[in-house]
Each structure stands twice: as structure tokens, then as C-alpha cells.
Amino acid sequence: MNDSLTLQNFLGRLNIRQMLAPLLIVMILSMMVLPLPTFALDVFFTFNIAISIMVLLVAMYTLKPLDFAIFPTVLLVTTLLRLSLNVASTRVVLLQGHTGPDAAGKVIEAFGHFLVGGNYAVGIVVFIILTLINFIVITKGAGRIAEVSARFTLDAMPGKQMAIDADLNAGLIGEDEARQRRSTVALEADFYGSMDGASKFVRGDAVAGILILFINIIGGLVVGVLQHDMGVGDAAKAYTLLTIGDGLVAQIPALIISTAAGLVVTRVATEQDIGQQLAAQLFGNPMVLGLTAGILGILGLIPGMPNFVFLMLAAVLGFVAWKKFNRPAATVKQTAAAQQAAAQPVENVEASWSDVVPVDVLGLEVGYRLIPLVDHVQDGELLKRIRGLRKKFAQEIGFLPASVHIRDNLELRPNAYRLTLKGVPIGEGEAFPGQYLAIDPGRVSGQLVGTPTKDPAFGLPAVWIDATLREQAHVFGYTVVDASTVVATHLNHVILSHAAELLGRQETQALLDHLASESPKLVEDLVPKLLPLGVLQRVLQNLLEESVNIRDMRTIIEILAEQAPRTQDPLELTTQVRIALGRAIVQQIYPTGNEMQVMTLEPGLERILAQALQGGGDAGGIEPGLADTLLRETAAAAQQQESLGLPAVLLVPGNLRWLLSRFLRRAVPQLKVIANVEVPDSKIIKVTTLIGASK
């Protein structure tokens, strides 16, 4: 009983699909050793032809090379299958060839007699021509393309990885998509490397086919004459025809597989298969078809030429060209009629409140050449990126910003775009669809031919280049992005920089409503019982102005509910909230390690600033000479910190934090000012620069 249960468990765990490949390889190898009956040979030869046709059709309908990533393995297995069949059929031909033309099965007989007319001289010539076509033309070309593609793909890997990291850091893609893209880049390199190696198997198979042909002919003559007492002519005819049939039945599938390999490695990844590309790119231009028809028609009128064939083909091409010429004309007429209908005068009506159009919170205006990037009908790539930006912003900052209103602006240059905040331009730049922006991160190894410019988001030196130079730019170390990524990155930088202005009353209320769905009592106790909505909004804006995210709304609401009975001052409330969020603030600046390398103020300077704060209440109370010195030394210290790869952080007493943050923010935008009380006890503070020590 236990033995039967064990057997059932074993059989239940067997996966037929997983066992199929090992069984197939074992069966192919066994054919080299074990004798096969003629019927089995017919079955396997037919199976070989069917597999080759299937591989060719899959290669033709594949959109991207990686869609058929198993192809190098298929190439090896089919080559091994053909060689095994050659060995098995050679054994049968030499053993049974004297018995008649069907000694090695019906398939070999058909290829040896019907395809070459029973003439072994013709068969040898046809076989050698097919082998040379496969070896010299198709396999050699496909192998060279795979070799070059593998080299360039490997050289471009670092640049592609940097581009993926840039998109991830800019918020254009998420972690999952970045991981998928990295995997695709690695698979692409592995695929072309495997294709480069697999093409050598096909070339070896072609050489082996020629050698096997002559070995079998010589071996058949020896066996027929010496062992079966056949005449030299009879032996040559019998064994040569069988050998030719055997060679053709193996070489034709090999030629088909090699053609499939060429189609795969020469494939340019698009959203169309090869048939659609041929129809659109080769036969899509009516001018080309019309000129071809005219040339064929002229040749068809020359005496002595095959007039009927030339004139017939010219008529077919001319008809197709005429149909294509007429189709755009009809489209133009329809467009003109639509424009004429739209131009009809509209009846004058009285003005109303509907004519008052509210100002868009976030706006994107584009020139007419950028319209395809934001066109819903054309599924503009920029639209997808903007949706991803808003989602990533909501996840990282803590609230959902207003939608980006996109419109075309004919007053802009054709390739220009403009970013607006509440109707006011806050950023502009240019993007060139079809080209790529190669951004110099500071360590490139070569120069590119293109239009010099600057990255509109961060001001880095860059060059607009043609698509043909993209791989070269990756090799040189540039970060290469397309036009839609340029605009999306700029937009992402703008909304992060103006997050506080994007948080209006409506967004604040929506944020509270979202929190109330999980913690209704917490929200009810604060707004509006203890704190007006406007004060809460101001506190959140104060945090956002200093790049502190508001994802931890539970902590923020709890601290405000605790402090609201004591004070309603937004600055004081912001200070208390920052203390509660201190761990998160420091973690955002120092994501790893327990040591904080910071800048601090000289104690004497701290006392002077504290007195100025008590006397003037803000930065206006600081003596001008002292203010200028403070700005200059802080900017120099911040630059020194960044040159060492450290964040520019100024650690100050709590009573001076807001004063110095507001005073230094515009002159040193990268500076982060944090208070002593905001630093967690677990952090180790190391002072790198003492500002004011020289005075």
C-alpha cells in the first residue's frame, strides 16, 4: 500500500512539460546510435521540415527579437536533429541502398527522384548551390549581424542602465518597471551573444552537409561494388540518388532555419510584424509604385522583350499607385469640408459667467511639433509619463497635485514648451521628437555631433542628437533620454520645487477627507474644533517649502491636536511638527549610516543672531555686513560639502532655525537647515565646517 502511494506521489509530481525537452534531446542523441526503421525516418524528416516552417513563421510574426528569446536554443536543437537524421539515414542508405530507391524511406526517395528528376548530376549541383547559399550568404550575414549587435549591445549596457536610473530618480517610472527594464537590457545582451554563438552551429552544419554528401557517395560506391557485386554505374546511380535525397531533405530545413535566424537578428523592433512593415514601407509610397510601373511599361514596349509579362506587371503596379494617389485626395476634400463647416459664422450671444475661465493650477503649453507627444488619439507618450509623475508625487510627497492642463500654443516656437503655475510661466525649454537629448553627467569619454544645449530641468550641458547616435552616446557615458522624457523630467522638477504652492485649500480638504476615511475621530477633533483649515494648510506648506514630505499625516495631526490649545501660530506649530518628524527628516537627508557630517555656526555668531532675532524679529534685524558675510561663508561651505559628496546641512539651535532657513534658502537653495532638537539621539554628529570662525 505504501509503495503504491509513493509511486502515485512520484507520478503526480512529474511535470510532462518539464520532461519534454530532456526527452527530446535524449531521443535526438539516441538516433545517432540506434538503427531506425524507414517509417521512423520518414516521420522524423517530416517533423524536421514542419519545425523549420514553424520557426520561420514565428520569426516573421515576432515584433521584437526578445519575443523569440528561445531561438538560439531552438537553432542548436534543430541543427542537432538534422545531424542525427543524417547519421541515421546514412546507416540505412549504406545498409539497404542496393535494394531500391525507397530503401531509406519515402521522403528521401521523393527528394531524390521527384525534386531533381532522378538525375544525380542535377541533384549534386542543386544540393551544392543550396548549401553555398545557406553557408556563404544567409548564415554568414546573420552571424556577422549577431556578432556586431552583441558587441554594441554589451558596450551600450552601462549607458542604458544609467538612463533607467535617471528615469527612476526623476519619477518617470516605478521600481517594478525599472527592474523590468534592467532585466530586458540584460536579456538583450544575452540574446545577441547567444545568437552569435548559435550561428556557428549553422555554419558548421552546412560544412558537415557537404562532407557527408561526398563521404556517403564514396562509401556507397565501395559498399555497392565490393559487398553487393553491383556495377560501378548502377552503384553510383543508386547510392548517389539516395545520398542526394538525404542531403536535400536535410539542407532545405537548414536553409529555412537560417533564413529565420537572419530575420530575427535583422529585425528592428516596432509595433508591426514583417508583413505589415513591408506593406507600409515598401509599397506605401504611390510615387515609387507609379515610377516603377512606368519603367516596366517602357521595357515592355521594346521589341524582343517578354512584352506581355512586363506590361501586365506594369498595369498592376500602376493600378495600385492610382488607388493610393486617390486616397489622400479624398481625405483632403473631407478635411477641407470640415474646415469650411467650422468656419461658418456663429450667432452672437450675450456674455455670461461661463465665459470666465478659471486659471489652471498646472499648465503645459506646447508648440505644434510637440502636439503628437500629448495627443490622445495618437496615444502620446508624454501623457503616460505625466500620469506616472502625478502618481509618484502623491506616493512620495503625500498629496495629489492638480491635473496638468495641456494645450497647444501657436505663439511658441514649433519645438518649444512652457510650464505654468496658476497662469504664470515657471519653466520653458525645447524638445525635438525623433531626436534624443544626450546629457553630460560630468564623466563622458567623447564628443557627439548635434545641437548643443542645456538640460532644462537641472542645467547640465547636453546635446540633441539623431537617433542613429544613441548607442554611441551610451558608449561615451552620456545619459540619453527622448523628447517626452525631457519634458516630463522638467515638469517633475518644477512640481517638486513648487509643492507648497500646489497645496491649496481644496487639496488640503481632500487630504483630510482621505485621512478621515481611516481615522475619522482624529480629524474631527482637530478641524475645525481646535484649528482652522487655513492654519493647517499653512503648516503643511511650511513643511513642503523645505522639502519635508507630509506622508505621515497621522503624526502631523496628532501633534497639531496636542499643540493647538496652546498656540495658533503656524510657525510655532510647524516647529513642533518638525521636532516630531525629526527622525524622518534626518533619514531623508542621511539615508544610510548613523553619522551626520554637518556645518554649524560659531558660538559668538549664534549669540549675535539670537540678539538680532529678539530685536528685529526676522532677518531684517541682521546688520548688512554680517548678513553678507553669513551668506558668502555659508555658500562656500555648502559648495565644499557637496564637492566631498556630502549633503549641505546646517545644524543650528531651534530658535534660529526658521530665521536662517528663510534667509539662506534663496541664496543657497541646496542647503538644509535643521534644528538640534530635530536630530534623533541615535545619530552621531560630526562638524565639518564652523561658519563664522574666521571673524
Indicate the domain borders of the chain.
21-134+199-278, 285-327, 362-498, 503-580, 592-695
Q: Which residues of 634-657 are buried (b: 16+ CB within 10 A; e: fewer)?
A: bbebbeebeeeebbbbbbbeeebb
Query: What CATH architecture does domain 592-695 belong to?
Result: 3-Layer(aba) Sandwich (3.40)
- Per-residue cell: 296: 516596366
Dihedral sign, Cα of residue 119, residue 122, residue 127, residue 128: positive
pLDDT at 330: 42
Q: Contact, 542 vs 662, CB < 8 A?
A: no
Query: Residue 459: which region, alpha, beta or left (left: phi > 0; alpha: psi -120 to 50)?
Result: left
Which helix (DSSP H) or strand (DSSP E) does residue 43 occupy? Answer: helix 38-61
Q: Which of 102-106, 220-224, 374-378, 688-692 has the highest mean pLDDT?
A: 688-692
Mean per-residue pLDDT for 68-94?
79
Instruction: Give backbone dihedrals phi and psi of 391, rounded to 5 degrees, phi first.
Output: -65, -45
Q: What is the pLDDT of residues 494-549, one digit of tens each?
A: 999 999 999 999 999 999 989 888 888 888 888 888 899 999 999 999 999 999 99
Instruction: Evaluate if residue 671 carries a pLDDT over 60.
Output: yes
Instruction: Give backbone dihedrals phi and psi of 363, rounded to 5 degrees, phi first.
Output: -135, 150
Mean per-residue pLDDT for 654-682?
90
Predicted confidence band of residue 221 (pLDDT cuts 50, 70, 90): confident
Instruction: Evaluate if residue 314 carries a pLDDT over 90.
Output: no
What span, in angstroms and rounded, lies between the C-alpha atoms of 525 and 225?
109
Peptide bond into 37 cis (omega under 30): no
Instruction: Give backbone dihedrals phi and psi of 352, rounded to 5 degrees, phi first.
Output: -145, 175
pLDDT at 491: 94
What span, in angstroms and rounded, lies between the C-alpha atoms of 370 and 419?
14
**DSSP3 helix / strand / coil % (the chain, rounded to 5):** 65, 10, 25
**Total residue count of the chain as it appears in this document:** 695
3-state secondary structure at position 36: coil
Query: What CATH architecture does domain 503-580 belong to?
Result: Orthogonal Bundle (1.10)
Q: Contact, 110 vs 118, CB < 8 A?
A: no
Pairing of strands 595-601, 649-652: parallel
Pick the CATH number of 362-498 from 3.40.190.10, 3.40.30.60, 3.20.20.150, 3.30.43.10: 3.40.30.60
Predicted confidence band of residue 233 (pLDDT cuts 50, 70, 90): confident
Crossing angle of helices 71-96 and 175-222, in 10° steps, is: 10
Predicted confidence band of residue 292 (pLDDT cuts 50, 70, 90): confident
What are the residues facing 404 on neighbouring strands?
A: 362
Alpha-helix runs per DSSP H in 569-647: 570-580, 582-589, 603-616, 624-643
User: Considering just the CA atoms, what is the radius of gyration of the chain in Å?
Assistant: 38
Long-range contacts of 616-622 (CB under 8 A, 24+ apart): 618/659, 618/662, 619/659, 619/662, 619/663, 622/663
Mean per-residue pLDDT for 111-130?
69
Dihedral sign, Cα of residue 428, residue 434, residue 435, residue 439: positive
Which helix (DSSP H) or strand (DSSP E) does residue 598 occupy? Answer: strand 595-601
3-state secondary structure at position 362: strand
Instruction: Evaluate if residue 111 carries a pLDDT over 90.
Output: no
Instruction: Give backbone dihedrals phi and psi of 536, rounded to 5 degrees, phi first.
Output: -60, -45
Q: Contact, 409 vs 399, CB < 8 A?
A: no
What span, in angstroms and rounded, lies between the C-alpha atoms of 631 and 1?
88
Predicted confidence band of residue 275 (pLDDT cuts 50, 70, 90): low
Q: What is the pLDDT of residues 605-626, one digit of tens each?
A: 888 888 877 765 555 567 888 8
What is the pTM for the complete model shown? 0.55
What span, in angstroms and rounded, lies between the C-alpha atoms of 235 and 466?
65
Q: Contact, 554 vs 652, CB < 8 A?
A: no
